[in-house]
């Protein structure tokens, strides 16, 4: 029997659009825990990471807004993630913005003792650094931080948690279609993560892409699946802060998660559900459908 620990990360400090901090509540309102239990999953609700709101914290520097509070909250998320994993549960973190992955991945890297693998399902690369960002939004740096691209910047040093959580050779990005110029330049370098753009998915089909992704991540100390709902087309997931047309459709997303379920991911993030921008909690409902696909649900 699968065992899951659900952790909420109600943060909107990583981006510009308000409301994504309500994502964990929106996801829980879909009866996420109950639906997983009906699939035979043993679910434990572990509560929320404490996140201070904008009015309570310093806005930080222009190259990394609210970084101090984001990293403090991510370290708390790392501790909850590591505790869940070492107790035999798969941590499932509900965002909030994508900066939560900094915490979940730090926790997994410490718990397993080595950098691991990730399947990053996202319209964006999240590979900016404070030196390359045009916005200063930390949710656009989450994968870069996990890959150790910010090592050398003392703001990212940690006495308690690894500053590099992922092996770039075992990291893949799926559904990318909105990459910044510095991200594209980095991805062309030797040893960078493998990117499966929407253009490639259109040519090859999602099944072929998912199977190759699993080959790339095989054998890592842990496998983390990080799903940003803006990976889907806005028609299927309207409640996101940075929608990009031309994303995965509903059936493609389910097929992808069904295939990834065969690898038994060690940890999961599901992020960027913004109920303020949603239509009748449609995006949260879709997100829960996809989580269930990752834990064994199938339309057939």
Q: Annotated catalytic residue: which of 65, 139, 224, 254?
A: 139
CB 210 within 8 A of CB 256: yes
Burial class (CB in 10 A: 0-12, 13-18, 19+), 221: middle
Q: Give every CB contact of residue 275 below 8 A, 6+ residues apart in sequence.
A: 19, 22, 23, 25, 26, 239, 281, 283, 284
Q: Does 98 qualify as catalytic in the annotation?
A: yes
Q: Annotated catalytic residue: which of 12, 63, 97, 122?
A: 122
Q: Annotated catalytic residue: which of 65, 98, 224, 254?
A: 98
Q: Does 228 qualify as catalytic in the annotation?
A: yes
Q: Does 289 qualify as catalytic in the annotation?
A: no
Q: Does 167 qualify as catalytic in the annotation?
A: no
Q: Annotated catalytic residue: which of 12, 63, 69, 230?
A: 230
Q: Annotated catalytic residue: which of 21, 69, 272, 285?
A: 272
Q: Does 63 qualify as catalytic in the annotation?
A: no
Q: Annotated catalytic residue: which of 21, 228, 233, 258?
A: 228
Q: Does 97 qualify as catalytic in the annotation?
A: no
Rounded CA-CA distance 210/192 in Å is: 18
Q: Annotated catalytic residue: which of 12, 69, 126, 167?
A: 126
Q: Annotated catalytic residue: which of 124, 183, 254, 285?
A: 124
**Sequential DSSP letters for 157-223:** --SSS-S--EEEEEEEEEEE----HHHHHHHTSTTPPEEEEHHHHHHH-HHHHHHHHHHHHTT-S-E
Residues annotated catalytic, as ranges: 98, 122, 124, 126, 139, 228, 230, 272
């Amino acid at each position: 029997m699968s065992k899951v620990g659900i952790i909420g990360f109600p943060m909107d400090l990583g981006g510009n659009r308000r409301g994504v901090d309500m994502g964990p509540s929106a996801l829980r309102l879909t009866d996420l825990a109950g639906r997983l239990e009906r699939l035979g999953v043993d679910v434990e609700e572990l509560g929320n990471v404490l996140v201070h709101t904008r009015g309570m914290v310093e806005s930080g520097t222009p190259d990394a807004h609210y970084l101090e509070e984001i990293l403090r909250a991510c370290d708390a998320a790392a501790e909850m993630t590591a505790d869940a994993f070492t107790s035999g549960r798969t941590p499932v973190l509900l965002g909030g913005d994508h900066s939560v992955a900094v915490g979940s991945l730090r926790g997994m890297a410490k718990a397993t003792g080595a950098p691991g693998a990730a399947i990053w399902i996202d319209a964006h690369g999240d590979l900016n650094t404070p030196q390359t960002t045009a916005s200063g939004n930390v949710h656009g740096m989450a994968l870069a931080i996990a890959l150790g691209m910010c090592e050398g910047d003392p703001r990212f040093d940690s006495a308690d948690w690894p500053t590099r959580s992922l092996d770039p050779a075992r990291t893949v990005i799926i559904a990318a279609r909105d990459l910044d110029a510095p991200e594209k330049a980095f991805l062309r370098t030797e040893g960078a993560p493998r990117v499966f753009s929407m253009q490639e998915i259109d040519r090859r089909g999602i099944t072929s892409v998912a199977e190759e992704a699993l080959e790339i991540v095989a054998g890592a100390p842990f496998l983390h699946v990080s799903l940003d709902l803006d990976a889907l087309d806005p028609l299927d997931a309207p409640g996101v802060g940075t929608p990009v047309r031309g994303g995965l459709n509903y059936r493609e997303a389910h097929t992808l998660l069904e295939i990834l379920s065969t690898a038994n991911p060690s940890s999961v993030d599901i992020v960027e559900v913004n109920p303020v921008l949603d239509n009748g909690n449609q995006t949260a409902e879709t997100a829960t459908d996809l989580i269930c696909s990752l834990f064994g649900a199938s339309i057939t």
